[in-house]
């Protein structure tokens, strides 16, 4: 049974690594040989790598994605932690509010495009990174509530009651008792929300118009040639864009797994 388990593990590993390996091979092929060559390039074509950074402002798009995703994840956590604790522990909103929060995530994002557009325009945040941070921070609140609610339910209520008896206010209770105990859940939730914001395309494409504010998913759509897409350069940009996400996933894999299991189960 051990060799069967290892064989199954290898098959799953190859299944997930094959698309990345294919991207790496495409990034080393010339435009004319991508459709004709096999999996491995006949000749290594390294020009795709400098051309990918020269065709568009790839570094700028990467920076914008990082700023929007980090800021959005931080805003999500700042709102979600006290809100989730109040809803779960104190039954704020009864049974309706949790269902309503989770129900908002069911609607397709496109239905919110025009309301968000006019809202950001009224606030003077249209086509700005702070506006994108605000949108991403609010967009991922249902996910954060879903993940954090499981962690809040597992907190010993006796610790909170003891802090209240000792005279702690609600702010002190959150800062001194709840947040330290919730820290693993907060970190895993923040990372998951960061990845969701980093990969988002629709809202970024609709709410940003300039190179200074557009994100990497939008930038990938700009690799247009005269008659066809520059697939080699797209592969390079995709590999470069995936690197930070994979680094975070490997670095915080235990926290991510805990957030997707412990925090998601009642």
Tell me: pLDDT of 133 over 90. Answer: yes
Structure confidence by residue, pLDDT tens digits, 73-113? 999 999 999 999 999 988 887 888 888 888 888 888 888 89
Tell me: pLDDT of 266 over 70. Answer: no
Structure confidence by residue, pLDDT tens digits, 38-57? 788 888 899 999 999 988 89
Residues 254 and 152 in one domain: yes
Residues 40 and 57 in one domain: no
Tell me: pLDDT of 229 over 70. Answer: yes
Residues 42 and 150 in one domain: no
Q: Quickly state the pLDDT bin for 193 (edges 50, 70, 90).
A: very high
Residues 38 and 78 in one domain: no
Whichever domain contains 197, its CATH number is 1.10.3720.10
Residues 56 and 74 in one domain: yes
**Neighbouring C-beta atoms of residue 13, cutoff 10 Å:** 10
Is the CB of residue 201 less than 8 Å from the CB of residue 211? Answer: no
Residues 199 and 182 in one domain: yes
Which range marks the domain in which residue 18 is found?
1-46
Strand partners, 254: none
**Neighbouring C-beta atoms of residue 174, cutoff 10 Å:** 18
Residues 125 and 70 in one domain: yes
Structure confidence by residue, pLDDT tens digits, 182-191? 888 898 899 9
pLDDT score of 264: 45
């Amino acid at each position: 049974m051990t060799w069967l388990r290892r064989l199954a593990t290898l098959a799953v590993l190859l299944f997930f690594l094959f698309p990345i390996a294919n991207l790496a091979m495409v990034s080393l092929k010339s435009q004319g040989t991508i459709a004709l060559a096999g999996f491995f390039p006949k000749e290594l074509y390294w020009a795709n790598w400098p051309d990918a950074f020269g065709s568009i402002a790839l570094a700028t798009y990467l920076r914008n994605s990082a700023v929007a995703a980090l800021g959005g994840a931080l805003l999500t956590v700042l709102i979600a932690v006290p809100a989730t604790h109040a809803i779960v522990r104190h039954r704020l909103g009864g049974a309706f509010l949790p269902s309503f929060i989770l129900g908002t995530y069911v609607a397709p994002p496109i239905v919110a495009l025009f309301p968000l557009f006019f809202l950001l325009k009224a606030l003077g945040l249209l086509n700005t990174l702070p506006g994108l941070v605000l949108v991403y921070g609010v967009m991922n609140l249902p996910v954060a509530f879903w993940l954090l609610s499981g962690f809040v339910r597992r907190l010993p209520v006796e610790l909170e009651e003891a802090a209240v008896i000792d005279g702690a206010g609600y702010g002190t209770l959150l800062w001194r008792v709840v947040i330290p105990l919730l820290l693993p859940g907060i970190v895993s939730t923040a990372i998951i929300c960061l990845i969701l914001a980093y990969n988002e395309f629709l809202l970024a494409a609709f709410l940003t118009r300039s190179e200074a504010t557009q994100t990497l998913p939008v930038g990938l759509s700009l690799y247009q040639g005269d008659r066809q897409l520059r697939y080699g350069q797209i592969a390079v940009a995709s590999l470069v864009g995936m690197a930070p996400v994979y680094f975070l996933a490997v670095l915080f894999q235990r926290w991510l797994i805990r957030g997707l299991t412990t925090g998601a189960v009642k």
